[in-house]
Structure 1
């Protein structure tokens, strides 16, 4: 191993340590029987038991999951349609403009997006709550799906569509039997990214949620302001583990979809 590769390895270790050390610290003290984050007095599952006995928290967790699944599913459908629309725009100038507009929501600060949605919902008369949160999550998830799907559409050869047309395939056959199967990895990637973004979002949700409705991120913030409670540590640990499972699930789905393509490339 040369000096450059050693330096790169050390640098990556430091970066990952900085990123994960606070999470591991939080997870470690979620098992502390002492009730503080200073001295670890003993192992306990008391705080996890309190999480599952908290009816309000369970309802909020279900709200968060429903919002995440609905927004991910709807934004995946809209994102695939948007990516197809961008791909079939013939003028390069218009195509680049659409891609730039798609990227605006991704690069814009969450505070600006949240405030914009709040003003819009107030003007058009949408009550803050489930509907406003769902619409906001769909809005900031669609550009993510588009970005995930576009590369798969761009790498697909036009000869595949031409061959399907020569064989008598209709437009629906081309879409359902050629295009969609080819871009399936991008669709899965977009869905999982939209799901994790929805589960983790705080800034936008904080602006558009109303009285009587909350998500886990907003609830954790509200409870953390009232003082340190290891129940928050336990809840945060559970959320992190769920997110980790989603990422691992996406990885295996991606690997599974990549194997047939790799086999097709190796086939003479």
Structure 2
């Protein structure tokens, strides 16, 4: 048992090293005063200064944040409504079919999704740019929100709804004062996950981005093709730190919400 524990820990350490070593290597050379990633000549913040002095890049950052926040908010609203609908479906076959259709966008390759959206927008006459990127980000974020909210709905005791109805609550009161507060951790989790997916997405966005409009992922790819620039390292490091903060925020909100939900469930338990 002890040997197995050691082997499993060594395996996890190896996995984390493989995953995070390239990111740490990139971040390390973002402070390099030299112009390459072959030798560290000295510490400097000039590459971070270049990022904040680049007006075009700052506009792209603003575009990315607007797309991410707006698509995540709309996807959360649609995803919560979808999760509530799926949860209320009584027929097992119908529910499984809906869940399967919901999961298609998650398991499908990004290239296929991006090409499909490109064809759809071309046929529909939608100009590639802000609208096409926003619609595509909403589309692939909705299934994520549904998967985050559904487990919370399944955890909710039916006695909560029954007790509210016995006290004379309307359906709207039950939804806004009982159901939504209980599944709030799932809603926040879905929003944060949709936000991180939107910020990090490249493949789908690359297909639906038009001339004159870009997001950070597409811009970093374009700059990387032009040659090695340590300002790309600085920009990538900032994006990684921002994404890390979002993930930590998601876990903090999720744990706090789970604790409140557990307390609420214990309070109504006979």
TM-score, normalised relative to structure 2: 0.97
Aligned pairs (5 A) from 1:188-203? 188-203=188-203
Question: CA 1:98 to 1:244, structure 2 compared with 1: closer, same or farther past 3 Å?
Answer: same
The separation in 2 between residues aligned to 1:264 and 1:156, in whole angstroms, is 10
Aligned pairs (5 A) from 1:243-258? 243-258=243-258
Deviation at 1:258, TM superposition (A): 2.5
Deviation at 1:165, TM superposition (A): 0.8
Q: Which residue of 2 aligns with 1:94?
A: 94
Aligned pairs (5 A) from 1:23-62? 23-62=23-62
User: What runs of 5+ residues in structure 1 fail to find an aligned partner?
Assistant: none
Aligned pairs (5 A) from 1:137-148? 137-148=137-148
The separation in 1 between residues aligned to 2:90 and 2:133, in whole angstroms, is 35
Q: Which residue of 1 aligns with 2:2?
A: 2
Aligned pairs (5 A) from 1:179-218? 179-218=179-218
Equivalences, count: 268
Deviation at 1:158, TM superposition (A): 1.4
TM-score, normalised relative to structure 1: 0.98
The separation in 1 between residues aligned to 2:255 and 2:152, in whole angstroms, is 15
Query: Which shows bigger deviation, 12-21 or 249-258?
Result: 249-258
The separation in 2 between residues aligned to 1:91 and 1:263, in whole angstroms, is 31
Deviation at 1:265, TM superposition (A): 6.1
Question: CA 1:101 to 1:242, structure 2 compared with 1: closer, same or farther past 3 Å?
Answer: same
Deviation at 1:263, TM superposition (A): 3.9
The separation in 2 between residues aligned to 1:87 and 1:258, in whole angstroms, is 19
The separation in 2 between residues aligned to 1:33 and 1:9, in whole angstroms, is 37
Deviation at 1:95, TM superposition (A): 0.5
Question: CA 1:145 to 1:8, structure 2 compared with 1: closer, same or farther past 3 Å?
Answer: same
The separation in 2 between residues aligned to 1:185 and 1:6, in whole angstroms, is 34
Query: Which shows bigger deviation, 87-96 or 254-263?
Result: 254-263
The separation in 1 between residues aligned to 2:192 and 2:240, in whole angstroms, is 15
CA RMSD of aligned residues (A): 1.2
CA offsets 1:158-208 (integer angstroms, 9 cap, x no match): 121111111100000000011000100100100000000000000000000
CA offsets 1:89-147 (integer angstroms, 9 cap, x no match): 11111000000000000000000000000000000000000000000000000000000
Q: Which residue of 2 aligns with 1:228?
A: 228
Deviation at 1:12, TM superposition (A): 0.4
Deviation at 1:261, TM superposition (A): 3.2
Does 2:171 align with 1:174? no
